[in-house]
Amino acid sequence: MFNRFTHLYEEFDPTGTDDGISLPIGDYYYTSYGIEYSSDRRNSFFYSLDTSIGTFFNGKKYSMRAFLTWRIQPHFSTSILINYDNINLPNPYPDAKIWLIGPKFDITFNKNLFWATFIQYSSQRDNFSINTRLQWRFAPLSDLFVVYNDNYFTDNVFAPRVRSFNVKLTYWLNI
C-alpha cells in the first residue's frame, strides 16, 4: 500500500496528452495497492512482475510492469522493460493508456571495451528512440565514450525527431 501526497505548484496534465485539460494547482492525496514478484537474480534468466491499482490525483490508475533479463556471463546481457499505465480521470480531464517498452543490450568485449544499446518506445509521446554507446577504458577511471542517439516520431509518419552524435572523454588526474 502506498499513500502519496503531491502539491502542484503549476497546472499539470498527468496523462501528457496533446491539448489535454490540466489539473489545477492544489494538494492531491492518493492511495494505491500493489503486488510484486521477483525471481532469483542469481540465475542467468530472471524476471520481475508487478501490478498496482488505486487512486491517482483526482482519478484512478491501473499499472502493470514486467522486467526480464538474460545474462550470458561474462560477455552479454539483455533485458526488456514493459510498462503499461491506464489512467482514468473524471471529465473534463483526459484519460490515457500509456505503453513504455525498452529493450537493452550490453556486450563486454574485454575488460576495457564495452558496448551498450538501449531502445525505447513510448506511446505517451509517440516516440521511438535508440541510444547506443561504445566505451573504451584506456586507464583506471579514464574513459572515452562515443554515443549515438536517434529519436523518431511514430504517430503518422516514422520520421526523425532528433539525432545526435556525442564524444565524451574522462581522465583521472592522480595528483
Instruction: Give residue limits of the domains in the chain.
Output: 2-170
Residue 69: C-alpha distances to residues 65, 89, 123, 132 (Å): 14, 34, 23, 18
Average pLDDT over residues 106-117: 97
Average pLDDT over residues 89-114: 95
pLDDT in tens, 30-89: 999 999 999 999 999 999 999 999 999 999 999 999 999 999 989 999 999 999 999 999
Q: What is the pLDDT of residue 125?
A: 83
Among 4-13, 14-23, 55-64, 134-143, the least confident range: 14-23
**pLDDT bracket for residue 156 (50, 70, 90):** confident
Q: What is the pLDDT of residue 86?
A: 97
At 126 the three-state DSSP class reads coil
Grid coordinates of 60 = 484512478
Q: What is the pLDDT of residue 139?
A: 93
Q: What is the pLDDT of residue 126?
A: 86
At 79 the three-state DSSP class reads strand
CATH number of the domain at 2-170, please? 2.40.160
Average pLDDT over residues 141-145: 96
